[in-house]
Structure 1
């Protein structure tokens, strides 16, 4: 158990380093090595570019002999990722896992999967069907989901835009936070309060 914890701590140190890979992982709760939060930058040149995708990572007790349990918490339109639950269909997270692999290599594999979907072995049949039948519609939908769910929010710009409509900063911030930074919903609430 101590050896596994030592390995996990080394892996986390490698995942926290700023590098050009676009993947990172950190503890969800300080001291709990069994629950991690991963992030994956959408690969350049794909419909996921510009997005930052969140991944929930649970480490089993027999790690590294069993794969980590990973699921996207950011909604993603991809044949191998459930659009409903974030479940992932990737062989190294199942029967092709090897103790030589790490959390970082698993995150890098997810990033690579975003570049090269496998629609013939889907997690989400509806998305896979669209991918194979109408690639342009798939890419348009995936870009829309990236813009909607994975783009970092510019909170200051949103507050400024709402304030330009005549509302004070404190009210604007509270309404935006309440509505998950949806400016239309925040403004509608503020207008309803007049």
Structure 2
């Protein structure tokens, strides 16, 4: 990696560490300037509140002229994040990137995305459909995922019991949660999808 890019990333990591937000973290993976681990706190007054979400950040050789590649490592139920791969649909990570943007800006933008979903421009169509058709159920599902995967505070006992029902049928826990979330927590629909 070019020395200029490495210096800039070092400066940007310091900027995040010194930031007053207290909700962002950034660190090198294996002392490589091209591989970073980010962490954001779930925004207040959202289903993600209280959760800590880890992000994989890959810095291209052409940084800062091209955006970093960022994806959620922590599983999250959100219309603009793939519930399978963690891919994020965010304009500054694609065509709206500018060399003046920083990793701190990226982390804050992803955090803001958690607070204001764009279901009409989804990364995950299933989640977006649930958000549009049944927002209260979407919020409960997102709180459940935040509790299970990001150590969020809200336990949704009814959903845990439904996951347990599928576990007793021999279904993997994450696959059970995905099927139930996809089928609006209908055990019969989820079971049919898994065993068909």
TM exceeds 0.5?
yes
d(CA) in 2 for partners of 1:8 and 1:20? 19
Q: CA deviation at 1:20?
A: 1.9
The 8 Å contact of residues 75 and 149 in structure 2, kept in 1 or not, is answered as: yes
The equivalent residue for 2:24 is 23
The equivalent residue for 1:85 is 85
The 8 Å contact of residues 52 and 152 in structure 2, kept in 1 or not, is answered as: yes
With the length of structure 1 as denominator, give the TM-score of the two structures. 0.76
The 8 Å contact of residues 49 and 152 in structure 2, kept in 1 or not, is answered as: no
The 8 Å contact of residues 130 and 137 in structure 1, kept in 2 or not, is answered as: yes
The equivalent residue for 2:11 is 10
Per-residue CA deviations over 1:104-142 (Å, capped at 9, x if unaligned) read 100100000000000000000000000000000000000
d(CA) in 2 for partners of 1:140 and 1:25? 29
Alignment of 1:1-194 (within 5 A): 1-17=2-18, 19-30=20-31, 32-151=32-151
d(CA) in 1 for partners of 2:84 and 2:105? 25
d(CA) in 2 for partners of 1:2 and 1:72? 28
The 8 Å contact of residues 15 and 26 in structure 1, kept in 2 or not, is answered as: no
With the length of structure 2 as denominator, give the TM-score of the two structures. 0.75
The 8 Å contact of residues 5 and 63 in structure 2, kept in 1 or not, is answered as: yes
Runs of 5+ in structure 2 lacking a partner? 154-196
The 8 Å contact of residues 48 and 152 in structure 2, kept in 1 or not, is answered as: no
The equivalent residue for 1:156 is none
Which structure: larger Rg?
1
d(CA) in 1 for partners of 2:148 and 2:141? 10
d(CA) in 2 for partners of 1:39 and 1:16? 11
Runs of 5+ in structure 1 lacking a partner? 154-194
d(CA) in 2 for partners of 1:144 and 1:69? 27
